[in-house]
Amino acid sequence: MRLSSAALIAVVASSASSYISSFQLQHGLTQRRNGAAMERVTSLQAFKLKEGETKNMFEGPAPLVKERDACGVGFIANTKSGEEFGTHKVLQQGLTALDCMEHRGACGGDGISGDGAGIMTQIPWKLFSEYRSENCPKPGVGMVFLPQQEDRRNSVKEVIEKVCEANELEFLGWREVPVDPSALGPQARDAVPSMWQMFVKAPKRLDDDEETRDGFERTLYLVRRRILVELEKAGLKWEDANSETYFASFSSATIVYKGMVQGCVLPQFYKDLQDEDFTTKFVIYHRRFSTNTNPKWPLAQPMRVVGHNGEINTLVGNVNWVKAREKSKALPECELEDLVDAENTDNIVMMCNTQDVPNVLEPLVDLGRSDSANLDAVFELMTKSRHRAPCALMSLVPTAYENEPALSNNPEIVDFYKFHGGLLEAWDGPALLVYSDGKSIGASLDRNGLRPARYSITSDGTVYMMSETGVVDLEESDIVQKGRLGPGQMINVDLATGEFKDNIAIKSEIASRHPYGEWVKKGRKDVTKMTFADDRLYDDATTTFAQGTFGWGLEDIGMQIQDMAGSAKETTYSMGDDAPIAVLSERPHTPYNYFKQRFAQVTNPPIDPLREGVVMSVAMTLGKKESIYKVSEKGARLIHLESPVLNSNEMDRIASFAEPENGGFEQATISTRYSLADGPDGIKDAIEAICDKAVEDVRNGVEVLILSDKSADQAELDGTTYIPPMIAVGAVHHRLIDEGLRMDTGIVIETGSAWSTHHFACLVGYGANAVHPYLALETVKQWHGSKRTQSMMKAGKLDNTTLDEAQQNYRKAVENGLLKILSKMGISLLSSYQGAQIFEAMGLGEEVIDTSFKGTTSRIGGVSLSDIAQETAMMRPETADEKAKLINYGYYKPVPKKGEYHVNSSDLAKLLHDAIGLDKTVSAATDRDEAENDGVKPKNAANYEIFKKSLESAPLANIRDLLDFESDRESISIDEVEPAAEIMKRFCTGAMSLGALSREAHETLAIAVNRVGGKSNSGEGGEDTVRIKDLSDVDEKGRSPTYPHLAGLKNGDSANSYIHQVASGRFGVTPEFLTTAKQLEIKMAQGAKPGEGGQLPGPKVSDYIATLRASKPGVTLISPPPHHDIYSIEDLAQLIHDLHAINESAGVSVKLVSSIGIGTVACGVAKAQADVIQISGGDGGTGASPLSSIKHAGMPWEMGLSEAHSALLNNGLRDRVTLRVDGGIRTGRDLAIAAMMGAEEFGFGTIAMIAEGCVMARVCHLNTCPVGVTSQKEELRKKFPGTPEHVVNFFMFVAEEIRELMAHLGYSKFEDLIGRADLLKESEEQLARIAKTKGVTLSGFFGSIPESKDDRAFLRATPAEGGGLKDSVVHVNGGSSDLDREMCNHEDVKAAIEKNSGDTAVSFNIKNTDRSTCAMLAGDISRQYGNKGLDGNLNINIFGSAGQSFGAFALPGMKLRLTGEANDYVGKGMHGGEIVVLPEADAGFVAADSSIVGNACLYGATGGDFHANGRAGERFCVRNSGAYAVCEGTGDHCCEYMTGGVVVALGTVGRNVGAGMTGGIGYFYDEDGRFDERVNGEIVKFQRVGSAAGELQLRNMIERHFEKTGSEKAEAILDNWDEEKAKFWQVYPPSEAQSAVVSDTIVGETVKVSATAPSEELCYLPVGAGLSPDQTTRCAD
């Protein structure tokens, strides 16, 4: 219970002395006294483990919590040269390419040892000639990592030889691989295995296998897995890094050389690679970037068949399903003994009984291995079981085939995917996969295309495929074809014939091997969406009673159901989640609320369900799934569900399939209800009973299992309770897996306890195939029929809908919400999300986890099954009564007295306002000018004490509420403690954007925090350039003509935010914005909605805000998730590189959100050269966000911060970065706890808003803030009451509170608290206050924080960077910016910038390792001239293959001409000037058909002209808001989220053109007449170019393109203009519908044809006029 203000005043002394003396009690400080003297506590162990407890911070799947990776990958294949064994040249080129992708990898903690590099090749038979003979020309060759210790090594060898001999593999000998350990870094040298090769002869029984060698390969494969089992049986398994036995390869076709090295070191270490006799027809190369600084040798790639660049987001689910499949397929164990007979080995791999016989074969998959290793294992098994390699990969990583125009002429490919999609859930996630099984070599890209993949084919037939173009130096005259892999595409080279097959050719060939279409048509039953029933299930009284029993509250209907059924959208809300976590709440919660959704950040990207939903699907299946290793017609016999959200008619349709003549799908319904009289412990027997019944039913042939909590009537509701559906489905799902039965049935949940999108995600995530939410649909009917709803429809406050439409709306809202939740984790298919358990539990005990959620992490313990049953019973209404109403639990909006506690209440705001002297009635709208000191009252320490006391005595809400301090020394005088001014330098404001906040609120916060020496943050909306200069025009009243809307100003104040944020929407990101920052922040995630982009409702996009954001007024802005140029760790490293390039003096911070695995992510960010890592709590505030995101995504910062600090410290990376934390920090106590958990800087968000006047009205998303803090309305902004002094007063109170705490703890310097978790302990008193359970324990988690009491070196920068204060050190780019430095230091360039007039021309050569080229130059120009750039022209001619981000942030006056090609992100953030990219004059390929620039070109461009004489990749001109661009074709998603500028594509484009486009114009040349299939018509419209202005604009841009590039395509179009212009489509959004270029208008209106012409006059042409020859020349120049 919170005390009233009066009661608090009564218990708090008002004098300063009592303020200080009460400090000890207030902070729970533990001191030990002996009489009058205080004893010094000499040794403390933080969070002592209780009996049976273990440290659990890093518990969980290893790929999640220990190590993640990304990389550069590619292959070279030449089957024409070098006769049978290939050439050494192919190997040399592969090693060169590997070295040229060094920047896509990283090094270990010693800065020398690589994270991993390797190659796979054909076995170099010339090199191994002594092990070959006439009767054994191609033996099996094993590349084996053995223990370093000789005795261990010999023991392992002995076992290996015995196993080989037992399986008829004649052992031909060992070969010690020649290596040079001196080439290794210290870490790699310490862990290096002993490298050996072994040679075996094929068994005589396989003599007739020589042609295909399939039987021999299967035997080698199975024997390899048998060896590892026998080694373990013999006790020959050790934990030492250099004692592991690992087979890098064991094959008669391929061999792998790899290690913990940099790319250039690989051939130095392995001397074989320098030998001329090492010849091969192909090479796969791979360079790894690990988030761990102690990577292991076996984790280097390529794996045995795959080189993988990416991350499998569905890994836990994939592994679970593989295990379920293995369990359900059985061979007698005796048959597993013969690993030689060809037919028998074929049966073993086809029946796939290889996982659960660990005494015979090493398990196939294991969450202790990396995602790449698990994928490789399944892929390898599939290639051993009659799947060709491309077929296996098509099945595992399918393309988005539905509604794909490119497949419209290939129904056989669609049928292949339909068939395999029912059998096998996709291994989903961003991935470029290069593969070889020795028979073919190829590459495939994930369905989203979120990895770069380019290829070239030369005249001699060599195929070069690579993550980046330019890694091998090729003569363009020798290249006959240049291409790229688009989303879901594949290429393949037959290693026997040398035949190259593109995407359609190889997939059509594979898909034509079986009549998949016939099988699907015959066997599959489809359940499409049907109409909804109108009939009511219950009367209103029974409905309300049922709702109450299932935990529904009034808010769920008034907010969620109304929005979902009324407008088919999830509820949008604001602020953050300031309610207690479920386990600490005093109110009953459903089990769903104990789960937090996981999300992708850094190592893999979230995806965009709003604009890229074409690659996503919620379709599911029911029925028995056949083997994925043995293709047969039976595999098509499934029930296919269009939606996982079923209504009663669809349930009847499914039931009809039980009839023998209609499919014969046997079905059973199991009730999950049990007698209320059984009490809380009855739930355990009830769970056991339904699991037993499920096993019995499925064994008897049931293929559709329905778990139902539906009651027939009120009487049944009165006498029974239910197993919560999450508990029920999880228990049954795991029990069926354990029994080997899960693949034999589908599970439908029929429940009254599912209404929110989060609920559905939880049910599917823990095993449900579909959900029938009968009570949610009943509630929609109840809501729709209510008088209130009907009157709101009549009044126009709600859309008028029929009952069927309302239920359809509800289902659509759930489906879209599911897509959003999937997309946060980078998952496209609900079928891949099913059973993947992509959640972290918070507050569930071990019993619950073991029963229903095996494999889910729950790190603080919590409730038992009985506790859950008790909590479920607490929700029950007393009686069913027609007048009864649901309880308003107040989980979202605070409800006085009876509702859930919310920390940030209006009462709390009033208490803080009283302390800091703020009167919300004093503002520009009242009498501020007349009030003394602008109405700022004196700050009051006693009132601040009351504010703090209100928080201390409040209900438990956060994990930190359960902690106490425990000092290790005596108290000191406060005079010895460092001053508040020093402490406040560590204070920051949260990243709240201008747009979410009003100008008044945003500028006041910036001025206040700058005034105290802290760090203000712009948020993602950009800033007005007027804020760059310090104030010097303030009068004696504190007023400034520069900021007439602000009060309380001082000369010298600065409104320029210290930190300028770069977010996915790139709003306001211009060169000047970047160069005027002292720190640049990359927003990877936001606490209130991790995995999603920012959101600004249309009413808040005023003219001023739209100008800053380069968008359209009144148009809602929902940023994409961060995946365009930060979709992996190496691409985040590239963006960090870009920002360090344009502003070398600014540090780069990366904002993450707390989640399990954040520790390993933080390590990756540190290795990517970030200067600061910010950890935000999942309870952070927001201006607007989907409600389920606010409540159910992201963990408390206490956990994320502790994990990040610990992982960085354990990996030796802590001194490379500063750690910042934010999310609900309100007091000095919070801040001290955060420091002890590792934070060095601290962000204040919502509480800082309260300090400037926020009253917690929680209407930020509605633009109706009553005090103008979050409104853009002029009349409301005038009511803004805050001044900088109010915020400064708050900061001073917090700093003084910290000083008092430090004095009592005995510490004089704040930095001495950082990382000192030993000064914290669990509070037994607070733990005893938890009402629901006694199972919460913090010691296992927080006891994992490393001891740092004595070693404080992490508080300073690395010795290599001088070892000074980290805040004063900024990481600098290495050799990848050398070309940029050369350019900036060129005398002619410096003179041109200084002169700022005339023309200057310079030339340079470039290679792919030169990255962010011209960004440093743009920075130099911006610092001198701002965004307007140069008045003169700086013509820079560049030759070669440009690395990533070529021309980033180019400014007016910069004219860049690249002859050659470029990789991803060309023109990123371009603000002006000109970029021209064209091939060499003697190129052997057709430019218009070939890729010349990569993905996401012109991302976030705000101006400039761009011309590419060739094709661009995916997402061309994404978020373009001003550039004028011409290219000759693009990949998917062209013009995505574009808000301005003009795009012309002179060739074919991929699908989804114009998705989310709200401004600008596109022109598309439609050669094949199928452009209409490729447009996303949700927003944009398209028409032929009909207006004179439009034709004028288009023609002039094409003329410029021809003049700049000499494009043959442009010339051909212009030469036949009257005919060719009819082939163009014009794409435009509604905001452009009345523009001259779209609609016919009178002559005399002007049309813009260029963004960078020398004078503004020349940028525009009168409609009906053309450029004169002189004008044309001048415009081109």
Active site amino acids: 71
What backbone phi and psi angles, to 5 degrees, belong to 383? -70, -20
Q: Return the CA Rg of the chain.
A: 33
- Residue appearing with tokens 């956060």: 958
* Euclidean distance between CA atoms 1372 and 242, whole angstroms: 34
Find the distance separating the first CA and the last CA of the chain, reported in whole Å: 74
Residues contacting residue 1673 through CB under 8 Å, at least 6 positions apart: none
* Euclidean distance between CA atoms 1578 and 1576, whole angstroms: 6
Sign of CA dihedral 945, 947, 948, 950: positive
Outline where 1213-1318 has alpha helix (H): 1228-1236, 1246-1251, 1274-1277, 1284-1305
Can you say how many angstroms the Cα of residue 893 is from the centroid of all Cα atoms in its chain? 29
Outline where 1549-1668 has alpha helix (H): 1588-1605, 1608-1615, 1617-1620
Structure tokens at 1171: 């200067």
Q: Which residues pair with 637 in a beta bridge?
A: none
Q: Over 719-753, what HEC string results?
A: HEEECCHHHHHHHHHHHHHHCCCHHHCEEEEECCC
- Residue appearing with tokens 């970030």: 1170
Residues contacting residue 1475 through CB under 8 Å, at least 6 positions apart: 1446, 1447, 1450, 1456, 1458, 1466, 1467, 1504, 1505, 1506, 1507
CB atoms within 10 A of CB 1307: 23
Contact 1462, 1493 (CB under 8 A): yes
- Residue appearing with tokens 């592969």: 94
Based on the number of CB atoms within 10 Å of its own CB, is 579 exposed (0-12), middle (13-18) or buried (19 or more)? buried
CB atoms within 10 A of CB 830: 27
* Euclidean distance between CA atoms 245 and 243, whole angstroms: 7
For β-strands 140-146 and 194-201, DSSP reports them as antiparallel
Contact 1046, 1000 (CB under 8 A): yes
Could you give the angle at which helices 1284-1305 and 1228-1236 cross, rounded to 10 degrees?
60
DSSP state of 1099: G
Residues contacting residue 334 through CB under 8 Å, at least 6 positions apart: none
Task: Using CA atoms of 1028, 1029, 1031, 1033 in order, give the dihedral in degrees to the nearest 10.
Answer: -120
Q: Which helix (H) or strand (E) holds 1090?
A: none
Cis bond before residue 302 (omega within 30° of 0):
yes
For β-strands 500-501 and 454-458, DSSP reports them as unpaired
Can you say how many angstroms the Cα of residue 1494 is from the centroid of all Cα atoms in its chain? 21
Show the beta-strand stretches assigned E in 709-825. Answer: 720-722, 746-750, 770-772
Structure tokens at 547: 């709702």
Sign of CA dihedral 642, 643, 646, 649: negative
* Euclidean distance between CA atoms 1508 and 1523, whole angstroms: 13
